[in-house]
Amino acid sequence: MSLLPTHSLRARLLWFLLAAVMLTAGAQALIAYRTALAETDEIFDYQMQQMALSLRPGLPVGGELAERFTTDDGDNFDFVIQVWSADGLRIFQSTARAELPQRAVLGFSTVQARGTSYRLFSVAAGAQVIQVAQDLAARRQMAGTLALRTVSPILLMVPLLMLLVWWVVSASLAPVSRVRQQVAARQADELGELGEHDLPDEIRPLVHELNLLFKRVRQAFDAQKNFVADAAHELRSPLAALKLQVEGLRRAADDAARDVAVNRLSNGIDRATRLVEQLLVLARQQASSAVDGKTGPVDLTALARLVLADLVAPAQIRRIDLGLVQADQGVVLGHEDALRILLRNLLDNAIKYTPVGGTVNLAIHQREGQTLLTIEDSGPGIAEQDRERVLDRFYRVSGAQGNGSGLGLAIVKTIAHLHHATLSIDRSASLGGLRATVIFPSPA
């Protein structure tokens, strides 16, 4: 089992930072302690050297001075001083039993005496040799005390620094806790945006992406609700009509009446099927608009030729002249399947409402980096006051022919919005019927 808490960012930060503080403080204390010991040794050596050099003028030869300065063995001195004459006579000692060697190397050295180690400094002063010694045990004790006094502030600051680290980490991660609480307090159907104010730069992009996700989910839910509401509203009448037609078929008295009822029932089923198909297409395109899936370059001219090929047969049945009158190279950024539906709905509407023997023209233009898709027909067109309303769902122009569901242009509008394109409907100047224009922005 790992000792490192891997599931909590706060715990990981505290673990690493507090461990770093302790390791750094320990290393700093060790370095400071060793440095203090070294500096203390240098200071004591300097004191010994200065003490010996201060006696260089020399001392008179004879025993009077030695006896005058003879000390009791019980006295404790950190430093021991001895002065020797050139012929080996000790003319001065600071303690009665120094027992330091008579001859020693000039300068600094370490000697054993009285069962302990001494740091010794010897200097020649004319015919005399001056020796200053210090018990290393006493030196180490004093040096350790001074070093501990140097290290103590560091050791005292470690808990304060750890508390500061804990406070900084907790304060820095407070926005994360705030966002978590906002999300936790929400109901299942609450998809409003989270507040992005006063968030750190590392957290704001995450919250921004969450808000975009909430927006897409909200749009998807709205599309689902709209689909359910539209289906419940629009399918009620066709289903009721189908039920009446079935009753009419059941009550048919002869074969002729039965054939009429069967034709009516078949037409009703076709209308209901068409309505369901358009409802599903609309719901799918609204969901695609909400999710805003991955897009790519689409050759609109090549796609238009494919759709025209699919609609040649129904156009020939009604002897409609269907053709591509201009085909500039038109590449747009979008969803190929959705653009296919857009083209098919516009052309299907034009073919459906154009009289027998009429004309339907498709053109693709390039203008100032934009791609213009234009479909014109020689049909009756749409009155100016109805041109905006026909883009709404389930709206049909009064007196319109055919079994439309009122969803074709609404689907085209949704797909155009998905591709950030502009859809407009007006009168065709060349054919006299309806002209639908979709302007796609530059893919760059």
What is the chain's length? 444
Q: Distance between alpha carbon 407 and the CA centroid of its chain, in Å?
A: 41
For 11, phi and psi rounded to 5 degrees?
-65, -40
pLDDT in the model for residue 285:
63
pLDDT given for residue 190 in this prediction: 67
Render pLDDT for 306-351 as a digit per residue (tens, 0 to 9): 888 888 888 888 898 988 888 888 888 888 878 888 888 888 888 8
DSSP 378: S
Closest CA relative to residue 80, chosen from 38, 42, 48 = 48
Residue 183 is encoded by which pair of tokens? 């999300």
In CATH, which superfamily holds the domain spanning 294-444? Histidine kinase-like ATPase, C-terminal domain (3.30.565.10)
108 and 119 in contact (C-beta within 8 Å)?
yes
Per-residue buried b or exposed e for 408-434, using 16+ beta carbons within 10 Å of the residue's own CB: bbbbbbbbbebbebebebeebeebbbb
**Number of C-alpha atoms within 13 angstroms, CB side, residue 299?**
8
pTM beyond 0.75: no
Instruction: For 221-243, write each residue's pLDDT tens digit.
Output: 776 776 666 566 556 656 776 77
**Identity (one letter) of the amino acid at 384?**
E
Q: Which residues of the chain have pLDDT under 50?
A: 1, 5, 63-66, 69, 73-76, 399
List strands edge to edge, sheet with 128-135: 90-93, 79-85, 128-135, 116-125, 107-113
- Indicate if the alpha-carbon torsion angle 156, 157, 162, 168 is positive or negative: positive
How many CB atoms within 10 Å of residue 150? Answer: 17
Task: Give the residue extent of every domain in the chain.
Answer: 23-154, 183-293, 294-444
d(CA 52, CA 84): 13
Are 68 and 91 within 8 A, CB to CB?
Answer: no
Alpha carbon of 342 to those of 266, 408, 411: distances in Å?
27, 9, 7
Give first-to-last CA distance, the chain, whole Å.
54
Kindly state the tokens that stand for 318: 């009604």
Measured distance CA(376)–CA(433) in Å, rounded: 7
pLDDT score at 298: 87
The structure tokens listed for 44 are: 């004591």
CA separation for the pair 39, 36 (Å, rounded): 5
DSSP assignments along 176-230, one per residue? HHHHHHHHHT--TT--PPPP-TT--TTTHHHHHHHHHHHHHHHHHHHHHHHHHHH
- For position 361, what pLDDT does the model report? 92
Q: Nearest 5°: CA angle at 31, between 29 and 32? A: 60
Kindly list the distances between the CA atom of residue 390 and the CA atoms of 130, 237, 384, 419, 436, in Å, as whole numbers in the listed order. Answer: 119, 20, 10, 20, 12
Dihedral pair phi/psi, residue 80, rounded to 5°: -120, 130
pLDDT confidence of residue 400: 52
